[in-house]
Structure 1
Amino acid sequence: MTKNKQIIADRLAALREEMRRENLSAFIFPSSDPHMSEYVPSRWEGRKWISGFDGSAGTAVVTLHSAALWTDSRYFIAAEEQLEGTEFQLMRERVDSTPSIPEWISRELQDGDSTEIGVDGMCMPLAEAEDMKAALRHLGGITMRTNLDILERVWTDRPSVPLNPVEIHSMEFAGESVADKLSRIRHELLRLGAGGMLMTQLDDIAWTLNLRGSDVHCTPVFVAWLIVAEDTVVLFIKDEKLSPEVKDYLHNEGIAIDDYDNIIDALNSYGGYSLLIDPATTNCTLAQLRGNFNAVNAPSPVPAMKAVKNKVECDGYRNAMLRDGVALVKFLKWLDEAVPRGKETELSVSEKLRQLRSEQKLFRDISFDTIAGYEEHGAIVHYEPTPDTDVPLRPEGFLLLDSGAQYSDGTTDITRTIQLGPVSDLHRRVYTLVLKGHLSLQNLCFPRGAAGTQLDAVARTAMWREGMNFMHGTGHGVGSYLSVHEGPHQIRQEYRPAPMLEGMTVTDEPGLYLAGKFGVRIENVLLTVPYMTTEFGSFLRFEPLTLCPIDTQPILVDMLTVEERQCLNAYHEKVYQRLAPLLDSDEREWLAGKTEAI
């Protein structure tokens, strides 16, 4: 057994000792923190700590006799590799033969085991906890405790709550004052019948207060809670995080400050008549507190507000994409020259791209860990190279490169599949199918208010005709110097009712993945803009924000329609016209060749 696998075995033994003390037959470890974040500070990486699986999505469950981990198709290959040699059995979500968590727990309990299981109620949303409790009761009278943070007992070197400093996000980039945002939020709360709300999601809090932080890897947010009442607003945060300047700023905005750990006492003593609690994003511990207020269980109005970007934010995206495009062109030109020399690897090109972005004005960080997958690694949807998995790039095949940056005026997210040398006819056909889907969605016009689910099929039609598909979403919102993944709107097969409205950013990223061979994904960030108004209503279209050439080498041109070729040529003309003035003569010449009409 390797050292890491022995560490996991030792952790499971310590956990089970505590479970026996508490008379628990199983314990559930979600991927979330108390704020239901997608990416979490290290303190709440309990699922990673107990299982060794480091993907962003998944749930680990440990019984007294067995262990399993559920994750989605993005991570099947990576999870299988990371769990190998441990007790954990991989459970592939959305595969017909995979049991649900309650089904598996009920099956695994043995005679003599307790019928009580546990989960840290601070790390599971109310809606999910209630569904889990109901399913467990139905499957044999199993009960679920939510009042135990078992990691505090077994994770001896557990990180503390992060204490990184908070900074002001100026109106130059925010485009709307805190007062105006609070006014809009309160108006929506009245419409929903609530006098106030508990705000738990970190990007919502950062957006509302025009503040940013660095508590979460690649995401400029800070750990805090916010209670917005009819006449008051209280920020619950560790005092060490606030400089005198930020404290003065909050005071001038009318924001009171309390300690982060006082949130439970504050909710128990809340004096308002009603308080909105979003059951999908509020952890069940806080959501189940019942002070003197009436709980209004409803979706938070903030994500939908945040998703519609104001003019300053839209202009910020355009400026950020210009600088990002310059860095990408410099990188791709360098890559063309570097790979034949035979010294580059997945990790080295990831670092080179980060370095070139860091030279751009207003760069703050990358927006997620770069996915650089060469050939068969490109078939692992969320593969991230490590020293153990890193491979050299050869002048042949595909490199799938998914990356992004955080700039003070915008967040970027782009994927390009790059031909490094000779490829097979299968490479070309798959690449062209993905490109057809990408262009079809980018060129789409649609009625205002259509849901992303209604748009999704446009990006999949060509590959469906070939009996191919991909299991991840086609598009997600992108924050304005915030989270690279933002809702509530999404473009995906699963039903998502959130309407598409002008001012929303969304990615366009269809892909195809052939396990053990290669993967293809092409991604731009799009801005939803007005198109026309007719007797049938208002229609919208997409403006591509991302500025970077799409590799034309692998394209089977005969597979593209006239409209698809026109769309690609128009995009490349825009890329050249916007970026060329910012490049030197050699870079302009390179870009001219890469954006030549087909």
Structure 2
Amino acid sequence: MKQQILSRIAALRELMTREHMAAFIIPDSDAHNSEYVADHWKSREWLSGFDGSAGTVVVTMEQAALWTDSRYFIAAEEQLQGTGIALMKQKVAGTPTIPEWLGRQLAESSSKEVGIDGRVSSAAVVDELVDELRRQGGLTLRTNLDPMKNLWTDRPSIPQNTITLQPLALAGEATADKLERIRWALREQHCDGMLMSALDDIAWTLNLRGTDVHCNPVFVAYLVIEPEKTTLFVHPRKVTGAVADYLKAQNIAVKPYEEVADYLRRDYFGYNILMDENETSSFFMGCMKENRATVVRRPSPVPSMKAVKNEAEIAGFRRAMERDGVAMVKFLRWLKPAVEAGGQTEMTVGEKLLALRKEQPLFKDISFDTIAGYEAHGAIVHYEATPATDAALEPHGLILIDSGAQYQDGTTDITRTVALGPVTDEQRHVYTLVLKGHIQLELAKFPDGASGTQIDAFARGPLWQEGLNYLHGTGHGVGAYLNVHEGPHQIRMEYKPAPLRAGMTVTDEPGLYLAGRFGVRIENTLLIKPYKETAFGRFLQMESLTLCPIDTAPIDRSLLTSEEITWLNDYHQSVFDRLSPLLDEPERAWLAEATRPIG
């Protein structure tokens, strides 16, 4: 595999020579600026061998480097060995930005041209690169070349899987009503129409789902909304008879996926068009230069609408969490005896959990690849076991299991760190600090409209008290049978101004990772809901949607406050009350013990 990577980089350099380019940037994005992409767009993985969901490779004639975040530092270092690609750790002191690195690398180069494929790069990314490269010795950016067309000879095609209907009883709002809300939001911004590129936004708007992207129930398409018409650009094979009839009833025209660019150039007749610069590719911004319409570069109104769940979606989440909780209880009851019996590995426990989830009604898929990291592997934030790394489990220490499922009525995301037997005093101490942070965020009360950044410290406080921290976000939105990562709101240290509103889902997942030793993370998916209204305004609180015991074996109870103990006992009582009617007698007995009050 390493030799293949070296050959691919050499072939790219040959192409760069023919095109008189000094460097080329390969991002991790697709034509829709998705977080997770279909195989057709995994160019960065094909070129570098690094398979994390976030990372950008830059190749010059002499050097190559990959930029990724803290979730993937350890995995990237392993995967890049022998490729000649240097690891650049984003947000770590001393790490140059891509433009800074290119400025140094190309200081003596005769060519000052840097390439990036504008079809898979957002307008915001391209504009920022243009400005920053210009400041690095007058470097220029070219966006009209996709080198993979020539280099990736066995490149997978764009998916053509069929689309399915999401029933109104689960969606909770008719497509016509959603389109009216979107048009109203556009009118408020004095916009005639918009191009929708984000796949989950399209699926939500149209109450449709697909299977084009691993773990994400979306389909590859574009949507153009105008004052009097709506057009879906999608491959004809994807549209079944039932979906075609549904779209016709909604007055939504269907055109081939590849015709969207020409439509924007020649057939869009609005005075202006909204294009979210963070979702729309630079290529489509360029298409509008051939049209008289003005591009309004503002955030899409759809993510904020989609983030606030309606009553049907919330009810679906509750049902999905119950079924997922049943699968988790069956799994946790099985786990320790299975490890004690021997023969279990990180991969086999992941397979067992998947099998138990598949038994649940309305199960469609996992919501992301399961992370099952035993001891040192638990310190790799987004670790995924492979046959080469698959660790045997022993009846001691900690295993971190981060997993989730796609049910037709809801998406789940849960992490539990479990003691497989005796643990060290250090593991017990760290586990309890992380649990304290998790509980403090669940207990938080905050003003309506506060941002996630303003409440992030609730979860980090117990760790900060001891000079400890984690570099990933504390929480993200979760889709209603949609993408497991959903915005615009987040809970994280970096400033994210998106307001928190009642009806939003968000995860609570603090952690701590000691490289080469162990990691701890505890995660529930929460619902933000009203708390109280006072003279100072409306206040919000959290409710756990996730239903699964939190392992009490590794807890140092002396570190928990009485308030935290009360929360944990109350949560466990709720878990038992909701799940016990769905279990058989041995499972109920196990759950009763797992949720027994501590004090």
C-alpha displacement at 1:288, in angstroms? 2.5
Q: Deviations over 1:479-531 (max 9, x none)?
A: 00000000000000000001110000000000000000000000000001111
2: CA distance, partners of 1:407 / 1:364? 5
C-alpha displacement at 1:109, in angstroms? 1.6
1: CA distance, partners of 2:19 / 2:249? 48
Q: Match of 2:473?
A: 473
Q: Deviations over 1:61-108 (max 9, x none)?
A: 001111000000000000000000111000000011101001111111
Structure 1 segment 400-415 matched on structure 2, within 5 A: 400-415=400-415
2: CA distance, partners of 1:128 / 1:359? 43
When residues 462 and 252 of structure 1 are mapped into structure 2, their CA distance, relative to the original with a 3 A threshold, is same
Q: Does 2:451 align with 1:448?
A: no
Structure 1 segment 336-485 matched on structure 2, within 5 A: 336-485=336-485
2: CA distance, partners of 1:240 / 1:354? 30
SS at match of 2:586: helix
Answer yes or no: is the 8 Å Cα contact 1:74–1:472 preserved in 2. yes
**Partner AA of 1:287 in structure 2:** M
Q: Match of 1:273?
A: 271
Answer yes or no: is the 8 Å Cα contact 2:107–2:137 preserved in 1. no
Q: Match of 1:242?
A: 239
C-alpha displacement at 1:294, in angstroms? 1.1
Q: Deviations over 1:350-387 (max 9, x none)?
A: 00000000000000000000000000000000000011
Q: Does 2:273 align with 1:285?
A: no
Q: Does 2:127 align with 1:144?
A: no
Q: Of the candidates 76, 83, 93, which is equivalent to residue 79 of structure 1? A: 76
C-alpha displacement at 1:244, in angstroms? 1.1
Answer yes or no: is the 8 Å Cα contact 2:336–2:395 preserved in 1. no
1: CA distance, partners of 2:284 / 2:58? 23
Q: Deviations over 1:3-58 (max 9, x none)?
A: x1100011011111111111011000010001000000001000001100000001
Q: Match of 2:50?
A: 53
Answer yes or no: is the 8 Å Cα contact 1:202–1:223 preserved in 2. yes
**Partner AA of 1:276 in structure 2:** L
Q: Match of 1:304?
A: 304
C-alpha displacement at 1:110, in angstroms? 5.6
Q: Match of 2:64?
A: 67
SS at match of 2:401: strand
SS at match of 1:36: coil
Q: Structure 1 stretches of 5 or more lacking a match? A: none
SS at match of 1:288: helix
Answer yes or no: is the 8 Å Cα contact 1:36–1:123 preserved in 2. yes
1: CA distance, partners of 2:219 / 2:72? 27
1: CA distance, partners of 2:108 / 2:398? 53
Q: Does 2:176 align with 1:179?
A: yes
2: CA distance, partners of 1:382 / 1:441? 22
SS at match of 1:418: strand
1: CA distance, partners of 2:338 / 2:553? 18
1: CA distance, partners of 2:361 / 2:110? 60
Answer yes or no: is the 8 Å Cα contact 2:320–2:412 preserved in 1. yes
Answer yes or no: is the 8 Å Cα contact 1:193–1:296 preserved in 2. no
Q: Match of 1:294?
A: 294
SS at match of 2:546: coil
TM-score, with structure 1 as normaliser: 0.99
2: CA distance, partners of 1:408 / 1:236? 24
C-alpha displacement at 1:113, in angstroms? 3.4
Q: Match of 1:217?
A: 214
2: CA distance, partners of 1:89 / 1:526? 39
1: CA distance, partners of 2:555 / 2:110? 59
Q: Match of 2:502?
A: 502
Answer yes or no: is the 8 Å Cα contact 1:16–1:64 preserved in 2. yes
1: CA distance, partners of 2:354 / 2:443? 30
**Partner AA of 2:371 in structure 1:** I
**Partner AA of 1:331 in structure 2:** F
2: CA distance, partners of 1:532 / 1:177? 31
Q: Match of 1:133?
A: 130
Q: Does 2:538 align with 1:541?
A: no
**Partner AA of 1:90 in structure 2:** L
SS at match of 2:373: strand
1: CA distance, partners of 2:305 / 2:353? 33
When residues 284 and 122 of structure 1 are mapped into structure 2, their CA distance, relative to the original with a 3 A threshold, is same
SS at match of 1:369: coil
Q: Match of 1:530?
A: 530
SS at match of 1:365: strand
Answer yes or no: is the 8 Å Cα contact 2:22–2:109 preserved in 1. no
**Partner AA of 1:414 in structure 2:** I
Q: Of the candidates 205, 208, 218, which is equivalent to residue 205 of structure 2? A: 208
2: CA distance, partners of 1:391 / 1:587? 28
Q: Does 2:118 align with 1:121?
A: yes
1: CA distance, partners of 2:108 / 2:425? 57
Q: Deviations over 1:134-189 (max 9, x none)?
A: 11111111101001111101111111111011011111210000000000000000
2: CA distance, partners of 1:454 / 1:570? 26
Answer yes or no: is the 8 Å Cα contact 1:122–1:283 preserved in 2. yes
Q: Match of 1:196?
A: 193
SS at match of 1:285: helix
Answer yes or no: is the 8 Å Cα contact 2:350–2:372 preserved in 1. yes
Answer yes or no: is the 8 Å Cα contact 2:103–2:136 preserved in 1. yes
Answer yes or no: is the 8 Å Cα contact 1:379–1:516 preserved in 2. yes
SS at match of 1:183: helix
TM-score, with structure 2 as normaliser: 0.99
When residues 112 and 400 of structure 1 are mapped into structure 2, their CA distance, relative to the original with a 3 A threshold, is closer
Q: Deviations over 1:239-291 (max 9, x none)?
A: 01111111111001110011111111011121111100111111111122221
Q: Match of 1:314?
A: 314
Q: Structure 2 stretches of 5 or more lacking a match? A: none
How many residues of Structure 1 are paired with residues of Structure 2 in the alignment? 595
SS at match of 1:344: coil
Q: Match of 2:487?
A: 487
2: CA distance, partners of 1:134 / 1:266? 30
C-alpha displacement at 1:111, in angstroms? 3.4
SS at match of 1:488: strand
**Partner AA of 1:250 in structure 2:** L
**Partner AA of 1:56 in structure 2:** S
Q: Match of 1:31?
A: 28
Q: Deviations over 1:190-224 (max 9, x none)?
A: 11110100000000000000000000000000000
**Partner AA of 2:282 in structure 1:** C
2: CA distance, partners of 1:109 / 1:79? 25
1: CA distance, partners of 2:281 / 2:388? 36
SS at match of 1:437: helix
1: CA distance, partners of 2:402 / 2:285? 37
2: CA distance, partners of 1:58 / 1:84? 16
SS at match of 2:490: strand
With 366-375 and 273-282 compared, the bigger mean Cα shift is at 273-282
Displaced runs of 4 or more, over 4 A: none
Q: Match of 2:254?
A: 257
Answer yes or no: is the 8 Å Cα contact 1:14–1:154 preserved in 2. yes
